[in-house]
Structure 1
Amino acid sequence: MANERRDFLKMTGLVAAGLMLPGTAEAAPASPWDQVPLILARIVPPTFPDAAFDVTAYGAKGDGETKNTEAFRKAVQACNRAGGGKVVVPQGSFLTGAVTLLSNVNLVVSAGATVKFSTDPKDYPTVFTRWQGIECMNFSPFIYARGQRNVAITGTGTIDGQGPSGPWFDYDDERGPDWDRLQQMAVDNMPVTSRTFGSGHFLKPNMIQLYECQNVLVEGVHLRNPAMWTIHPVLARNVTVRNVKLYSRGGMVDGCDPESSSDVHITGCQFDTGDDGVAVKSGRDTDGRRVGVASENIVIQNCTHLGRWGALTVGSEMSGGVRNVFFEDCTIKKGSSYSAFHVLYIKTNKRRGGTVDGVHARRIKASGVQREAISVTLNYSLTGPGFGPIVNPAVRDITVEDMTVDGASYAWSLDGLSESKITGMSIANSTFTKITNATPKVKNATKPTYTNAKVNGKTVT
């Protein structure tokens, strides 16, 4: 056991930090939070040359009506060919189709500028993407990059997906056959390039997807009205999402979904979402296990959640595994029209497989939560009956410290499987008031460790 722990600490870098020395028989266990400074030290946002490429110099018009797709393409390519810099969107309303970013390009949306995305599906060509955790060829996200280094979206202007104004939300009612077909393609191990959707189909696109990219920054912008997930790094490394304000409504409109990505810092953001605020993912079922890349070393700090569902959610697409997620100094409260269902929501099921190992929350303040403040379930919805084998997931090492929740149906609910119990849950120095059902729910889980955990004034033992 000591050797296994030493190997783990070497892998995470804690040995190098001096928290444990090789050869020691039994060192005192390190706090999982000791990893956070090491993770943040590795996350370095990209920088760019001062060269500026104004989209109006390439024919763009900020009149809200002219379609500027070609002007954006030319500006991005010119910036990339010159060795990098800023593609500047000046004051005005710039309508466009899909924008594809290249290495060393910082798309700057200036104060007073709006990038407004077309509601015509024909303006989004077919690209290699991931749709709800399964790789396929589908509509380009509104802003897309694949295999690029040093890419950014910054500024204090607005990016408006016009999701409610276009056909995208109608796709929710039509997507069933396409979604069933994609899941079956994954089970059948069909080559990804043969899993073709896009135009004529109903799998709607993400707003921002940065696929297999390194050194990513999304900062300052106001993001509104996505058609689906808003910020979606996939298989990405060294990602910073900072001081972003996000507003979304409708189905499947999460805030930020790091998927199979590592070294991710989400800080100072406001999520007023119709779905999850931050949702950590790593692929779905058979296809997620085929790719087999975990999301790990993710730090969420100083954010405000004003939306629906979970402020921090892990899953349900987590088949590649999730480890080392840190959630601290965040506030959850009623937003413009929604209250959160959950503060911390870990969800999976017996087709996912994969392991969630190490989700840590501290100094979290929440009010008006509508369901369980902490919900961990291994019995989340089994959609697509018959698709894929039963592969039970594992969920372990969930710690909560200094959480204050004023109002919820339950303080916490653990709902494991008889074949796979939830293990390693601990709650310390946390207070839950105005809880409708004072007795927490614990099923198919080892008994959590409680240290000064109070529900409606009573200490839980």
Structure 2
Amino acid sequence: MLDQNTTTALPRRVLTRSAVATLALGFSLPLWAALQAPVKVQVPTLAFDDQEIILVWEKPADHAAVKDYRVYANGVLLGSSNANNDRVSPAKPYINRFYEQDKANFHHRIGIHSYTAQGLKPDTPYRFTVRSVGADGQESADSQAVEQRTTPVPAVFDVMQYGAKGDGSSLDTQAIQSAIDACTVGCKVLLPKGIYKSGALYLKSNMTLQMAEGATLLGSERAEDYPLAGYIQYPYSTTVRPASLINALPRDPKQHQRFENIRIVGPGTIDGNGWKRQADVLDETGQALPFYLPSDNTRYMLDGVLAKAQVEQAVARGMNVKDAYGQMRSSLITLRDVKNVFYGGFTVLNPAYHGIMNLETENVVLANTTHKTYDANNGDGIEFANSKGAMVFNNFFDTGDDCVNFAAGTGADAVHQKPQEDAWIFNNFFRKGHGMVVAGSHTGAWIQNILAEDNVSDGTDAGLRMKSTNFMDGGARNVTFRDSAIRNTVKQAFIFTLDYNDPNAKLDYRRSTVPGQFRDIRVSDVSVENARGASIEVKGDSKNSAYHEGLVFERVRFSGPAKARIDGLKDSQFAEVVFTDTGGTNPWQVSDSQGLSFKGVEPGPL
């Protein structure tokens, strides 16, 4: 996984020595002479099995001339990252379509820096190198090599052999759980083609859960199939939440249990059965996407399936509707205190609450997955809380809430928790969602060392979304958002606010006297087309001396009727930030801020 220095590094756009010599001498060298090889080629955590190995790498510091990458195994060319990504990534068709529509060449072009090697032999070592490729097809030198061995063919525990019906109506919980319990170290629990209705399932260490092609794990619609003794969100939380459909949790919440080496893979589907589904909509590629009824705590009786049953059960036990709605719906997947997790290749549908929850985990990878949860209320994509090490790449997000969210505890007691740190998010497509990459609103123990790059979005509410309150403590720091393209933001392209309020949240924590803060945030080389609302919105609390600070915006361009509204910011820089289509009005609205620097900004602030 990425170390701290990787996620916080901010490489400058520097010329190579050969490029400098070329300029000084006044003649051209071949393009390959200036190409640098990619760096830190690696196999992400558990991103391999008996037939395939996934590689990722970081772009070279001087990558402007790099148009593709070629991958070699044992010295033999496997292929290029762009062509490979077309085959394996559910995000790539949308990324391709996005750029096909960019007739004016307005947008920043992202780079694809991953490769999935398939059709490999079991229990066999492979040595990989990667080369940068220029526009003329010339290559750089080899990257540093990485070696990885495929696994032996795993023992397979087919749930059908344990009594599962897979007919979409029989309850298969016991049969699937029996297969999981019988699973030996390194095994695979397989759901073959079929629809397997199930309540809560509990995974264990050193196993793979696989949904085969045409297989769907369908959440039961009955509240009683999800034990109420599931988990509490934070050590100081008071509400015990119900189990999720898939769990790595102690079956007794009073016990502590650590897990390791869990894989959940596709190509099948995990369907939470949370809400009623309206007619599908056709997306920009002509594919049908589900549209779930957008509900709340007043309409769940009409709109919900599992969500309705669970809220009604909680209300019948005496809980008020608001708290029942906000706390007692099951998420799709919840993992706690797990070291080494790989999610790959499956499709997520219709959670009653959140999508994939990772609590106090270490080294989690989400790759090549599809999230179709729009517009399920609170239907986030993937969340990380008080965790270390995350890699999110090649995923398609069309969600009813935040797409990739980071949390770190709430209020005064969060100072005793570990921070949320070290994450790398790249090569994803974000279609719908409250934000592409989101820090908060739970910021108490700090969210830090996040790198989001080479992502594309069309239609999310926001791009980089940072939200907290003046009583939450902590915040987010050392965050880089770069080399990305955004279109049709509904609210803000970039927002940093202390004015966040969730009407469904339960205040079951002690307020802090320290406000949240967002600092040392860098946004560079990003294009935002048709930005609506505020292109950049900063809301500190200057009346109480609560400022955000250290924001740096470099080479960011906006089109559309957007404005920069800045209040409560200090010691920050804006360089080569360009607005078009302003209608002759100045887009900059700056108040109660200090120490701001503007260079090459068009049009400039008053």
5 Å-filtered alignment, 1:261-300, equals 261-290=387-416, 292-300=417-425
Partner of 1:24 in structure 2?
A: none
**3-state SS of paired residue (1:152):** strand
Query: Is 1:453 matched with 2:577?
Result: yes
Q: Distance in 1 between matches of 2:313 and 2:227?
A: 20
Deviation of the 1:84 alpha carbon: 2.6
Query: Is 1:303 matched with 2:428?
Result: yes
Q: Distance in 1 between matches of 2:376 and 2:234?
A: 16
Contact 1:133 1:317 in 2 (8 A): no
Q: Which runs of 5+ in 1 are unaligned?
A: 1-10, 18-28, 183-196, 334-338
Contact 1:46 1:150 in 2 (8 A): no
Contact 1:69 1:98 in 2 (8 A): yes
Q: Deviations over 1:201-222 (max 9, x none)?
A: 9611211111000110110001
Q: Distance in 1 between matches of 2:232 and 2:519?
A: 27
Match of 2:267 among 151, 156, 159: 156
Partner of 1:398 in structure 2?
A: 521
Task: Letter of the 2:259 partner, please give it.
Answer: Q
Distance 1:377 1:32, change over 3 A: farther
Match of 1:168 among 300, 303, 307: 307
> Considering only CA atoms, is the larger Rg found in Structure 1 or Structure 2?
2
Distance 1:111 1:455, change over 3 A: same
Q: Distance in 2 between matches of 1:180 and 1:445?
A: 39
Distance 1:264 1:256, change over 3 A: same
Distance 1:30 1:279, change over 3 A: closer
5 Å-filtered alignment, 1:284-433, equals 284-290=410-416, 292-333=417-458, 339-381=459-501, 388-389=510-511, 390-407=513-530, 408-418=532-542, 419-433=545-559
Task: Letter of the 2:521 partner, please give it.
Answer: I
**3-state SS of paired residue (2:454):** strand
Task: Letter of the 2:177 partner, please give it.
Answer: R
TM-score (norm 2): 0.63
Contact 1:175 1:202 in 2 (8 A): no
Contact 2:385 2:420 in 1 (8 A): yes
Contact 2:468 2:475 in 1 (8 A): no
Q: Distance in 2 between matches of 1:380 and 1:355?
A: 13
Distance 1:453 1:132, change over 3 A: farther
Partner of 1:20 in structure 2?
A: none
Q: Deviations over 1:376-405 (max 9, x none)?
A: 001212766796333312220111011111
Deviation of the 1:287 alpha carbon: 4.9
- Aligned identity (percent) is 25
Q: Which runs of 5+ in 2 are unaligned?
A: 14-37, 50-150, 250-257, 277-304, 582-601
Contact 1:310 1:341 in 2 (8 A): yes
Superposed CA RMSD in Å reads 3.1
Query: Is 1:123 matched with 2:225?
Result: yes
Deviation of the 1:44 alpha carbon: 5.0
Q: Distance in 2 between matches of 1:253 and 1:99?
A: 20
Q: Distance in 1 between matches of 2:349 and 2:507?
A: 34
Deviation of the 1:356 alpha carbon: 1.1
5 Å-filtered alignment, 1:66-85, equals 66-79=170-183, 82-85=184-187
Q: Distance in 2 between matches of 1:37 and 1:134?
A: 42
The answer to which of 396-405 and 352-361 deviates more is: 352-361
Distance 1:301 1:443, change over 3 A: same
Query: Is 1:114 matched with 2:236?
Result: no
Contact 2:369 2:396 in 1 (8 A): yes
Q: Distance in 2 between matches of 1:171 and 1:131?
A: 18
**3-state SS of paired residue (1:448):** strand
Distance 1:416 1:298, change over 3 A: same
TM-score (norm 1): 0.81
Q: Deviations over 1:199-250 (max 9, x none)?
A: xx96112111110001101100011001111011110001000011011132
Contact 1:158 1:224 in 2 (8 A): yes
**3-state SS of paired residue (1:76):** helix
Q: How many residues align?
A: 411
Deviation of the 1:13 alpha carbon: 5.2
**3-state SS of paired residue (2:408):** coil
Partner of 1:6 in structure 2?
A: none
Partner of 2:385 in structure 1?
A: 259
Distance 1:286 1:71, change over 3 A: farther
Task: Letter of the 1:55 partner, please give it.
Answer: V
